[in-house]
C-alpha cells in the first residue's frame, strides 16, 4: 500500500517512515511538486489535518498528471497537525507552533526553530519549573483514495506526550521545540534523548502506533494495488 504524507517537512516524513516500518511505502508532497499549498488556518489540529489530507487527495483524484505522477491505484493520504501546548501560556503556541515567532511580525510562513524557541523562552522568563508543564499533541487525518470511487471521509488518530520545558535549548537531535521539551520521567530533552527514544514516547509515535494497528487489523497495509 502506498501512503502519501501531506507535508514538505523531511523530519516528519522520516519519523512516519521509521514508525510505520515496511507496512507501507511512504511518499510526501516533495514527490509531487505541483501539489497546491494549503493554508493552515483552522482553529484546531484536527481541522488543519483534515484540510491538508482532503486538499491533497482531491488534487490527486482530479487527474493530476505530469509533475503529479498519480498512478491509477489505491493509496492512502495522511496529514498531521501537531504542536506544543504550554499551560502557563494558556495552551499557546498550539496550532501556531510552527509560525509562533512570525506572528509578531505578521509575516506569512513558518518561523525558524531557533526563533520559535527563543520567543518561547522569552515568554516563560521567570516561570518556575513546577509551572513549566506542557504537552506535544498530534492529530492524524487519514483518507483513502481510490481513483475508481469517491473520496472517503477522514479517519482520525491522535496522541499526546506530557512533559515540561527547560530553561535553555539542549541536544543536537530532533527539530522544532525538541531541545526544550523534557518528557515525563526524563531529565533530558527530546533533542538529547535521540530519535530511538523519541519514537517510543512522542505524540506522533502514539498516533502512528494507533494508525499502524488499524492498518494491520483492517488488512489495508497488505492489500495489493487495484
Catalytic residues, by residue number, are 81
For the record, the C-alpha cell of 29 comes out as 508532497
In the structure, how many helices (H) and strands (E) does the chain have? Answer: 6, 6
Beta partners for 3?
Answer: 26, 76
DSSP for residue 225: P
Q: How many CB atoms lie within 10 A of CB 178?
A: 23
Q: What is the CA radius of gyration of the chain?
A: 18
Residue for cell digits 496529514? 79
3-state secondary structure at position 104: helix
Tell me if 50 sits within 8 A of 154, measured CB to CB: yes
Amino acid at each position: 500500500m502506498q501512503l502519501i504524507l501531506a507535508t514538505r517537512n523531511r523530519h516528519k516524513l522520516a519519523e512516519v517512515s521509521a514508525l510505520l516500518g515496511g507496512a507501507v511505502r511512504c511518499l510526501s508532497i516533495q514527490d509531487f511538486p505541483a501539489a497546491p499549498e494549503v493554508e493552515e488556518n483552522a482553529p484546531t489540529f484536527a481541522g488543519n489535518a483534515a484540510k491538508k489530507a482532503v486538499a491533497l487527495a482531491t488534487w490527486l483524484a482530479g487527474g493530476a498528471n505530469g509533475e503529479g505522477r498519480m498512478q491509477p491505484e489505491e493509496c492512502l493520504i495522511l496529514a498531521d497537525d501537531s504542536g506544543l501546548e504550554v499551560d502557563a501560556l494558556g495552551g499557546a503556541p498550539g496550532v501556531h507552533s510552527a509560525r509562533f515567532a512570525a506572528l509578531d511580525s505578521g509575516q506569512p510562513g513558518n518561523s525558524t526553530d531557533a526563533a520559535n524557541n527563543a520567543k518561547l523562552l522569552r515568554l516563560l522568563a521567570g516561570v518556575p519549573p513546577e509551572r513549566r508543564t506542557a504537552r506535544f499533541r498530534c492529530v492524524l487525518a487519514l483518507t483513502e483514495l481510490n481513483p475508481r470511487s469517491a473520496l472517503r471521509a477522514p479517519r482520525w488518530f491522535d496522541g499526546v506526550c506530557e512533559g515540561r520545558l527547560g530553561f535553555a535549548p539542549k541536544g543536537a537531535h530532533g527539530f522544532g521545540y525538541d531541545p526544550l521539551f523534557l518528557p515525563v520521567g526524563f531529565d533530558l530533552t527530546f533533542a538529547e534523548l535521540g530519535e530511538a527514544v523519541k519514537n517510543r514516547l512522542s505524540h506522533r509515535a502514539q498516533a502512528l502506533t494507533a494508525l499502524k494497528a488499524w492498518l494491520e487489523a483492517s488488512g489495508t497495509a497488505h492489500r495489493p494495488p487495484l
